[in-house]
Structure 1
């Protein structure tokens, strides 16, 4: 007799927008892995619909809008009775975790971390402190090669880290996009490795020929403007990196694409300087395939960078920083160049832009890196297998995670009472 299909409920922080952010793309890759396994998926979110929302219904994924601090969710999840609940980022676990545990205690609870937000925010604060001490400095080598212990010290006292890592403990499995972050959690925060599963971006490696050097022109930068590291990178390019490139390549053009372009970004548009703010790209891979160089001078951030994976998919060499390349490569050569100062980034960009032989070599490095580290056919089944194995020994898995059980006992009670108080207050109003 056939077993009924596994039922998955995803509680999304936002509705997925794969063409707007790497997080949205990663969520769609996870959903596709579940579909490939024959699982039934319902995607829910309390967020408003975004401009570039994916068409989940066409894929066979049910959609349901839910509300924060509303007991209607209790009826919804009891009726659905999912086998697996995936929280899209720790804030959703904070909001809905206690309700899931109360009404579906046997459901596997999975956290999609996207990246460690507490690490990203700690690095952002470190950058601010650095700029305050040295406003005119353009060499950030001291920031780009931190020891894990130093990162831990930055994060350990922050409320954000305590909230985020508590959510990891409360869940049965947390999906980690970065092996650097897995190492940080296990070595510095002492999170049991059994609670973490490495799940990078999952892609079909390209098999067709890339557009060659002579058919490419211009520089490109891309990224959602709502993501703070992307906006900081645009400002650094505008003020420091791009002027140095233009000094050596007076006719160079930089096209910057990004979803949700704010007025402060469009105000930087200056064709006379070759600095073009282009708003959202309908097809990011198409514009990436036409560019000769991808610029990604990220001064802080976490996780792995979708723009750099897109560059590899399109055979577009990238110029980035150690933060940009973090957890993305291996011992093999990077498909571009990695530098830590504005002058070095500009020099690398100019040199690679003009060197056809070197450019063609690093283009192929990207194809090879994708096959080694980001193959959907490897990571998709591994994700499904991990979740199935955890479900099969869920009681023992939870007994081994006493810290998580303790945190759920205390945190969920306080969250439950706060949520019920807000709901009662809203009824009175």
Structure 2
């Protein structure tokens, strides 16, 4: 595993999103083996994008529906190609197979897009989420992409279970890789501001991500009016990258509802807040805002969707509540009761250190990749569905891509 190509949906922005942090964690895992890493993306870079060159990672801009990629990958000859989200595998997977058939193909799902989309649709239609919503057009594409790859990285145990039970995906195609964090020593925990030195309620999340925007709307319209009467001095501080005009317009100083925008230092924001709220109404994957809160000793009030996959069998670092009245009550209780607050803080530290143990999960992940590398032919023989999908999608995707390519030449 010496030469690795990562095809990114976007250039990593660890300060803007949990997906950006996650990508940097995976890059770090690959670097353990002193691998040569190239990061390629068809997207344009933003100001928030991290400089990969400074970390010794080669950067390459690639073009969609263009044979220049074939030449690039043929010269690179990677041992491992990792796709950041299924859309990148759809675009470039068949070209990788054509030019480097022996390269291991890994899909980093980030979260299950079909699950998030299905929940969003059910929420929009004000009805209960079920299989009819799960088996959507995104699912058809995403599950096909999982089958076409040799391994898919899953951030949530709940989503692994869903893939196995609802879509019959074999477990040897899936690897559980949650967020990867260094242990938080007790001396660092003790240095954090205490209950008395903290104030206000905080929430954070990239506003380009629809679940985050909808949760802010829910706070504005339903939850904060209930919470602010119980906590007459507390303010709600909402942070997130890419706040649009429609987001900024939600600010109401009189109601103590503040849109703070991009957080330059999430650590400072989180460790001075008394509690964090995450009332997500739909979504998937793991929530970076909750692990940020755990790391800084900030207890949380969250919805079932937000808490999904976070705690396993462990006690949460706060309350999980979907009823609006009860949610407001729990926030008030957590905000005012120091004993309860300390207890929930302790659970947060415990979760952080055991559920997201960096060295353990890094090792598990790299061992699985190595295992597949050693027995690639046997591994692929057990995945006939993947071979079949590879064959058919290569024909159709290839035809479509070549058609677009020719069309582009004419302009």
Q: TM-score range by the shorter chain?
A: over 0.9
CA deviations on 1:208-228 (whole Å, 9 max, x unpaired) are: 023210111100010000111
Separation in 1, partners of 2:379, 2:132: 30
Equivalent residue for 1:351, pick from 328, 333, 348:
333
Aligned partner (choices 371, 386, 398) of residue 389 of structure 1: 371
Q: TM-score, normalised by structure 2?
A: 0.97
Once the 2 structures are TM-superposed, how far is the Cα of residue 230 of structure 1 from its aligned partner? 0.4
Residue correspondence of structure 1 range 49-68 to structure 2 within 5 A: 49-68=45-64
Deviation at 1:343, TM superposition (A): 1.0
SS across alignment from 1:278: strand
Structure 1 segments unaligned to the other structure (5+ residues)? 134-142
Deviation at 1:51, TM superposition (A): 2.6
The partner residue of 1:155 within 134, 156, 168 is: 134
Q: Are 1:75 and 2:71 matched, yes or no?
A: yes
Aligned counterpart in structure 2 of residue 23 of structure 1, from 19, 24, 34: 19
Residues 69-108 of structure 1 mapped to structure 2, 5 A cutoff: 69-108=65-104
Output the CA distance in 2 between the equivalents of 1:322 and 1:403. Answer: 34
**Unmatched segments (≥5 aa) in structure 2:** none
Tell me the alpha carbon deviations over residues 197-251 of structure 1, each in whole angstroms, 9 at most, x when there is no partner: 0010101122202321011110001000011110000000001100111111122
Task: After TM superposition, list the pairs within 5 Å mapping 1:145-224 onto structure 2.
Answer: 150=130, 152-156=131-135, 158-207=136-185, 208=188, 209=190, 210-224=192-206
Figure out how many residues of one structure are paired with residues of the other and give that number.
407
3-state SS in 1 of match to 2:125: helix
User: In the aligned structure 1, how far is the partner of 2:161 from the partner of 2:267?
Assistant: 32
C-alpha deviation, 1:114, in angstroms = 0.3
> Is residue 223–residue 230 contact of structure 1 (8 Å, CA) maintained in 2?
yes
Q: Which residue of 2 aligns with 1:139?
A: none
More moved, 54-63 vs 41-50: 54-63
| Range that drifts further, 162-171 or 410-419 | 410-419
Whether the aligned pair in 2 keeps the contact of 1:232 and 1:299 (CA below 8 Å) is: yes
> Any idea what the Cα deviations from partners look like across 1:170-215, whole Å, max 9, x if unmatched?
0000000011110011111101101000010101122202321011
User: 1:25-83: CA deviations, max 9, x gaps?
Assistant: 11110000011121111000000102310121111111000000110001100110000
SS at match of 1:191: coil
Query: Corresponding residue for 1:9?
Result: 5
Structure 1 residue aligned with 2:267, among 285, 297, 308? 285
| Superposed structure 1 runs of 4+ greater than 6 Å apart | none
Tell me which residue corresponds to 2:34: 38
TM-score normalised by the chain length of structure 1: 0.93
1:255 aligns to what SS in structure 2?
A: strand
- How far 1:331 moved relative to its partner? 2.1
SS in structure 2 at match of 1:225: coil
**Structure 1 residue 226 corresponds to structure 2 residue 208:** yes
Say which SS state the counterpart of residue 152 (structure 2) adopts: strand
